[in-house]
Structures are given as C-alpha cells and as structure tokens.
Amino acid sequence: MSSSISTVTPGREEVRKTTPGPILLLGAPGVGKGTQAKELIKVWGIPQISTGDLLRGNVAQGTELGKTAKEIMGRGELVPDILVNEMVAVRLQQADTANGYILDGFPRTLVQAKWLDERLAALGGALPLVAVSIKVDYNQLLRRITGRRNCPVCHSIYNLYGKPPVKEGFCDVDGAALAQRADDTEKVFEERMRAYEALTAPVVEHYRALGRFAEVDGDRPIAEIAVGIVAAIERLRS
C-alpha cells in the first residue's frame, strides 16, 4: 500500500489498485458523508452505497418500499430496520461490491449495525470493515443542511453558503436547475438530529469499541478532509 499519504490528492491521482474493503462513513446529517464518499470513489473506484439515495430512488419510482418510506423520511424519522437491511442486502449482492464499497448513511441503528456485522462475518470477505466518523458542530450542520442544493441530473452537491454554483440556482456541470431535498428544512433537520443522537450515536460508539475506527474533523475544506479519511483508512488497514 502507498506510504506517501501526505501527497494524496483525491481527484487528481489515478484510481488505486489496492482494495480497501468495506468502509463505513458515519456522522450526523450534513457532516458531508455523501461528499466524502464521492472523493473516496475517485481514490479507489469502489461504489458508494447511500441508503438515503436508495430510498429516494424507491420513492421516485413509487415502489412499495418507496410508498412506506416517503412519509417517514418527510418527518425526518428512520425507516424500519428490516426494510433498510433488506434493501442493503440486495445491493451488496451486486458484483461491483467485490473489492469494497462505501456505506453512507448505514448503519444508523444498533440493530442495523449488528445485522451488518453478522452478514459480513457470514460472507467471510477478505477484509473487515473500517469505520470513519466525521464530526461537525450543530450550528454548522444546520447551515449546511438548509443551504444544501443538488443537481437532479448529475447529482453534484452544492451549498449556498460554502460551495455556491457559479450561476445561482443552476448546476455548474450541466446547467440543470438545482433542487432542494424535501427534508433539508430546519424543522425536519431538528428531528433528524434527534434521531441521530438517540439511535445513531450509539452506532458510532459500537464501532469505536470494536477498533478499526477513526474520527475526523469535518469542518475543513473538502479535499483536506478527504486526505485525512484516506490516511485513516490506510492506517487502519496496515
């Protein structure tokens, strides 16, 4: 594995040949799990599995799962474990996960975490998972969430405060009109934070206790955070 971590610049290097195995990105809503997952894709070429994106896809397609999830998500609550676990189980069967993947937004409860641990043990993959928790303070998260906009076409993520598009309201990449997630309002954010503190914070402690765990400061430039995450993962893998 490369020892020149300090020179790694996600996005500017070639996809690495090493296989990082399963990576968990943990952290409260708005810490930048999705943004960082996209940086890690550039480094390792492994897929991002975002349960939020998968659920929104189900909502958009009007599947049974989507119909159940829509209102729950709109309230900022968590979709039942059994439904989310099943959705992840199906996704993990796809061939592109063979060399590793980045789980973003999963597991979010201890039930999900234990399910995942057992599943990975049963699958007997070559590498155990590593977990990285991204930390950002509450007020900063609120600004990030209420300022977040995304491109419905290419899925680029912007922020009105931190990373605005060149032309207000439109994607820099393809010019599509930017959208705001229905649950990115202050009221729903408060509920999502409540759910995080009650149900997901214990998941962070679960993985901290298991080892193969790192915590990074998420209140820095995107590329700098990514370098920190890559370094942490390589350290945990060495």
Q: What does the binding site for ligand AMP look like in residue numbers (CB under 6 A)?
A: 29, 51-52, 55, 72-73, 76-79, 84, 105-106, 108, 112, 183, 192
Give me the residue whose beta carbon is nearest to ligand AMP.
52
CA distance 117 to 206: 11
Of the two residues 64 and 168, which places its CB atom closer to ligand AMP in the complex?
64
Least distance to ligand AMP from the beta carbon of 122, Å? 20
Active site residue 75: no
Catalytic option among 16, 42, 114, 181: 181
Q: Which is nearer to ligand AMP, 5 or 41 (CB)?
A: 41
Cβ-based nearer residue to ligand AMP, 32 or 52 = 52
Where are the alpha helices (H) located in the chain, listed in sequence order? Answer: 33-44, 51-61, 64-74, 81-92, 110-123, 138-147, 186-195, 201-210, 222-237
Residue 149 a catalytic site member: no
Structure tokens at 228: 């920190």
User: 110-123 and 201-210 are packed helices; what angle lies between their axes, rounded to 10 degrees?
Assistant: 40
Catalytically annotated residue among 56, 70, 148, 149: 148
What is the distance between the terminal CA atoms of the chain, rounded to a whole angstrom? 8
Both structure tokens of 124: 């007997």
> Is residue 108 flagged as an active site residue?
yes
Task: Tell me which residues are annotated as active site.
Answer: 33, 108, 148, 181, 192
